[in-house]
Amino acid sequence: MNARMMRVFDQDLWVVTKPGAKNRPPLLLFNGIGANVELAEPFMRAMGDVETIIFDIPGVGRSPLPALPYRPSTVARWTAALTRQLGYDKVDVAGVSWGGAIAQQFAHQNRGLCRRLILAATAAGGLMVPGKPSVLLKMASPRRYMDPDYLHSIAAEIYGGNFRLDPSLVKVHAENMKGASNLGYLYQLLAVAGWTSIFWLRTLKQPTLVVMGHDDPIVPLVNGRILTRMIPDARLEVMNCGHLFIVTLPHETAAIFRHFIAED
């Protein structure tokens, strides 16, 4: 992994890249809410020879807080400038959960830059079928990133899937979390407040893969079906897991992503 701080417009971003083959576009990954780049490193390594790029969202991990709150369109603008600074004129884009909203916005704003789109454990924003209120209430706070005991107590309920079956996964997950500051987490919540892609999903022209967990308490599977129906060139892949399959099943998830990226 190569890591460095990069200045984009007036914002510093902690950027991590995994080198790979130069005969195809790299995969640009947007992480979930409060998630630092280290959480995605096992998945990035599992991507093999696919060059992979990720950065800490401002206020998360090592990227400093922005001067002001931002919207998905702002993150998409930062990212477009970042990819060009890195020397790419085409990228494949993947977004996980909160990052899936940013990935949709990026594909919408940068149609020539985004070749393929992967939406994982995500939805169309405000107009979605929500998870259980008790789960969403726990997601509204960054406490799980700062209190390992609290994470242990709620992980099975909020993440579902393998976290219900294997408590040891919680310890591994907690050890990799650097998390968001309280204000950084609030900015991420504010960024998607009222945001929805539902009115322009049909305009997305990129081939799109929607990947969902069958036991996802945060983003129920039906949201993936809605995305697949609304995006013209989209198909759905359902994994036998919960919300965080990119963390609990990095090799299986990477295999699905790699196969999609390699298609003609």
Q: How far apart are the C-alpha atoms of 213 and 215, rounded to whole Å?
A: 5
CB 242, CB 236: distance < 8 Å: no
In a domain, 154, yes or no: no
- Look at the chain and report how many structural domains it folds into: 1
pTM of the entire predicted model: 0.96
- Given a contact cutoff of 8 angstroms between Cβ atoms, the answer to whether 85 and 55 are in contact is no
Domain span including residue 223: 2-130+180-262
Flag whether 22 is in a domain: yes
Radius of gyration of the chain (CA): 17
In DSSP notation, 148-191 reads HHHHHHHHHHHH-THHHH-THHHHHHHHH---B-HHHHHHHHHH
Q: Is 221 helix (H, G, I), strand (E, B) or coil?
A: coil
- Identified catalytic residue from 73, 97, 134, 181: 97
Residue 19 in any domain: the answer is yes
The model's pLDDT over 32-74, given as tens digits with 9 standing for 90+, comes to: 999 999 999 999 999 999 999 999 999 999 999 999 999 999 9
Q: Say whether pLDDT at 179 is over 70.
A: no
d(CA 107, CA 129) in angstroms, rounded, equals 22
Residue pair 237/209 in contact (Cβ under 8 Å)? The answer is yes
Torsion angle (degrees, nearest 10) of CA 100, 215, 136, 118: 0
pLDDT at 172 over 90: no
**Mean pLDDT, to the nearest integer, of 8-19?**
97
97 part of the active site: yes
**Average pLDDT in the 155-183 region?**
86
Tokens of 90: 């085409």
| 264 Cβ neighbours under 8 A, 6+ residues apart | none
> What is the per-residue pLDDT for 177?
78
The CATH number assigned to the domain holding 57 equals 3.40.50.1820
* Residue 213 near residue 160, CB atoms below 8 Å: yes
Residue 104 maps to a domain: yes
Q: Tokens 């129920």 identify what position?
A: 220
Half-sphere exposure of 153 (CA within 13 A, CB side): 7
